[in-house]
Amino acid sequence: MKILIDTNIIIDNALEREPFWNASEQVLSLIEKGTIAGYISASTFSDLYYIIRKARGRDWTLTYLKQLITFCQIATVNQAAIIMAFTTNFQDFEDSIQYSTSVVNKLDAIITRNPQDFPIITPRIKYLGKIIYT
């Protein structure tokens, strides 16, 4: 299964934000073990750097992001993804880009702690929940 990791999951992990850190650690651990294939949108990296750097500093942030890409893939954000993002009904344009990127890259699901932002539910998402919480 190929999943897109939403920005908030990575920020929760990097900043050890409670009560979300444990779940984010479980997701990243499954990816690192190869149980699931994790993808991060290319457009997410500047947001990650900006937010994490403010709390952890430049060097720590760069080390963290470099380590992250040793086991996560980068999902391409291309013209097709942006055009699709313009046509969705998402309230948040960043979420629209995340969704469109996952479609264009043929990913199976989006892992987020904001499911209300991604109202599309599939049987595969329920399956993924079983993997993470068992």
Q: What is the pLDDT of residues 90-105, one digit of tens each?
A: 888 998 999 899 999 9
In this prediction, residue 120 carries a pLDDT of 53
Q: What is the mean pLDDT of residues 110-132?
A: 59
Q: What is the mean pLDDT of residues 54-67?
A: 98
Query: Does residue 24 fall inside a structural domain?
Result: yes
Q: Return the number of other C-beta atoms located less than 10 Å from residue 132's C-beta.
A: 15
Contact between 129 and 31 under an 8 Å Cβ cutoff? The reply is no
Please give the tally of structural domains in the chain.
1
pLDDT-derived band at 134 (thresholds 50, 70, 90) equals: very low
In this prediction, residue 130 carries a pLDDT of 47
Domain that holds residue 14: 2-76+110-133
In this prediction, residue 133 carries a pLDDT of 47
Higher per-residue confidence, 89 vs 45 = 45
Q: What is the mean pLDDT of residues 19-44?
A: 94
**pLDDT over 70 at 33, yes or no:** yes
Higher per-residue confidence, 128 vs 65 = 65
Percent of the chain at pLDDT > 90 equals 69
Q: Write the CA distances from 123 to 22, 35, 50, 84, integer angstroms.
A: 24, 18, 34, 23
**pLDDT over 50 at 131, yes or no:** no
Query: Does residue 37 fall inside a structural domain?
Result: yes
Contact between 18 and 7 under an 8 Å Cβ cutoff? The reply is no
Higher per-residue confidence, 113 vs 125 = 113
Query: Does residue 95 fall inside a structural domain?
Result: no
